[in-house]
């Protein structure tokens, strides 16, 4: 059981099907946290894994009382899983880090130290060395941050991912945001809390494969852009205005050509123009649709994750439900005892 008193530090670790890396993570993270000499909890957010992750977490928990397991009912995605962890974390300070050891746990004490020394509410882990990342990942990441700064998220520190330390005040501010699909690496800087940075070398994934295929990277980019800027909507307006001016010019040209007896330019150019405008209109509609979709989902207020179970609410006399659930098949309804269930939906 984690100590009932509020810990000084919470470490939130989102994980989706990380059975390969989990033993390595426990072996690296635990000595660092034990060495801090402060009360802590680790909030492992199991983002609906269907592999052995829940079983491994349950067995790790028997040996590591500070480990707390928050299981989400279904895969909610990296950002929503972190949000779930932030809402559950109880520490005065909260660190979020990836499960795959790309964010070295040894930096956590430096982050705490930097926060205290500089009186900062947020300490960003900044990647000073990304040589372990693929060239594709490095280039897309650089383009992402440059693009986001250009369209409005000016405070986003370069090369800062989701490895960061936040004070209780910052976490409360994040939890209070009503916005869906929040992209934390942009939302947190925008809150404007005093911050510091700690550099670290981004390691290669310790085991397993990336859970961020291109489609998810695109989704994150769309969430970032639409969450932070109205520029694309204005772009649609500019397309529309430019198109209108061009159309008027073409009309004048056609009229003059007719009056002076010249034949109007041929069929091909007409088709090209119609097609080009069709494409611009569809593009503009698509951009609007992205924002309208967000308005709709905000109105629906459907939670972006559901907590199935939080090991904090077990009593020590109870049989560990996660183990039984995992043996029975983690997704079988009723695999967990009724009183340990937490079907309360949470919003990010
Ligand atoms: N992750 C998650 N839910 C998902 C996808 C990923 O909780 O739907 C976790 C994953 O287990 C890892 C972190 O998010 O701890 C970052 O994912 P990953 O390392 O696969 O991304 P990459 O480093 O390749 O961008
Ligand atoms: Mg990774």
Which numbered atom of ligand 1 lies nearest the CA of 211?
A: 20
CA distances from 253 to 169, 214, 246, 266, 302 (A): 63, 45, 10, 13, 53
Domain extent, residue 330, equals 9-211+303-346
Residue with tokens 């925008």: 190
Sequence-distant (6+) residues with CB within 8 A of 155 are: 189, 190, 192
Q: Which ligand is nearest to the CA of 13?
A: 1
Q: Quick one: DSSP state of residue 207?
A: S
**How would you classify the pairing of strands 67-72 and 93-96?**
unpaired
CB of 100 within 6 A of ligand 1: the answer is: yes
Ligand 1 atom nearest to CA at 217: 25
Q: Are residues 335 and 197 in the same domain?
A: yes
pLDDT value of residue 263: 65
Report the number of distinct structural domains present in the chain. 2
User: Is residue 42 located within the same domain as residue 137?
Assistant: yes
Please name which ligand lies nearest the alpha carbon of 210: 1
Regarding whether 323 and 277 lie in a shared domain, the answer is no
- Per the DSSP assignment, residues forming a β-bridge with 307 are 72
127 and 158 in contact (C-beta within 8 Å)?
Answer: no
Report the predicted TM-score, pTM, of the whole model to 2 decimal places. Answer: 0.80
pLDDT computed for residue 337 by the predictor: 40
**Residues 315 and 271 grouped into a single domain:** no
Low-confidence stretches of the chain (pLDDT beneath 50): 1-3, 317, 319-344, 347-348
**217 in any annotated domain:** no
Does any ligand 1 atom lie closer than 6 A to the CB of residue 102? yes
Ligand nearest to the CA of 18: 1
Query: Is residue 77 in contact with ligand 1, taking CB distance under 6 Å?
Result: yes
Distance 210 CA to ligand 2 centre (A): 6
In this prediction, residue 300 carries a pLDDT of 76
| pLDDT at position 335 | 39
Pocket test residue of 25, 49, 56, 98 for ligand 1, highest count of atoms within 8 A of CB: 98
- DSSP three-state, residue 150: helix
Cβ of 237 closer than 6 Å to ligand 1, yes or no, is: no
312 with 296, same domain: the answer is no
Please name which of 134, 124, 282, 150 lies closest in space to residue 224, comparing C-alpha atoms.
150
Atom 16 (ligand 1) nearest CA: 98
User: In CATH, what number is assigned to the domain containing residue 104?
Assistant: 3.90.550.10
Looking at residue 114, its pLDDT comes to 97
- 46 in contact with ligand 1, CB cutoff 6 A: no
Regarding the beta carbon of 134 and ligand 1, being less than 6 Å apart is answered no
Domain presence at residue 150: yes
């Amino acid at each position: 059981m984690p100590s009932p008193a509020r810990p000084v530090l919470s470490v939130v670790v989102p994980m989706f099907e990380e059975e390969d890396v989990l033993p390595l993570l426990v072996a690296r993270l635990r000595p660092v946290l034990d060495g801090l000499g402060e009360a802590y909890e680790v909030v492992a957010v199991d983002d609906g894994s269907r592999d052995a992750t829940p079983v491994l977490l349950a067995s790790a928990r028997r040996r590591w009382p500070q480990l707390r397991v928050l299981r989400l009912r279904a895969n909610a995605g990296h950002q929503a899983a972190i949000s779930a962890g932030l809402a559950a974390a109880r520490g005065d300070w909260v660190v979020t880090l990836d499960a795959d050891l790309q964010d070295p746990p040894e930096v956590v004490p430096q982050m705490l130290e930097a926060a205290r020394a500089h009186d900062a509410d947020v300490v960003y882990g900044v990647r000073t060395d990304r040589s372990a990342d693929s060239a594709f990942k490095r280039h897309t990441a650089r383009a992402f941050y440059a693009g986001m700064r250009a369209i409005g998220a000016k405070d986003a520190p370069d090369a800062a991912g989701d490895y960061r330390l936040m004070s209780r005040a910052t976490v409360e501010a994040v939890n209070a945001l009503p916005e869906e699909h929040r992209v934390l690496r942009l939302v947190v800087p925008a809150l404007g809390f005093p911050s510091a940075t700690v550099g670290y070398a981004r390691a290669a994934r310790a085991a397993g494969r990336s859970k961020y295929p291109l489609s998810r990277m695109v989704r994150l980019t769309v969430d970032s852009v639409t969450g932070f800027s109205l520029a694309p909507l204005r772009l649609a307006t500019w397309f529309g205005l430019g198109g209108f001016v061009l159309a008027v010019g073409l009309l004048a040209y056609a009229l003059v050509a007719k009056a002076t007896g010249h034949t109007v330019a041929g069929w091909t150019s007409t088709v090209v123009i119609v097609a080009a405008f069709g494409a611009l209109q569809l593009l503009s509609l698509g951009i609007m649709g992205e924002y309208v979709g967000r308005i709709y989902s905000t109105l629906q207020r459907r939670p972006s994750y559901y907590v199935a179970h939080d090991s904090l609410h077990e009593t020590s006399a109870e049989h560990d439900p996660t183990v039984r659930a995992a043996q029975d098949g983690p997704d079988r309804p009723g695999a967990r005892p009724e009183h340990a269930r937490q079907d309360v939906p949470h919003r990010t």
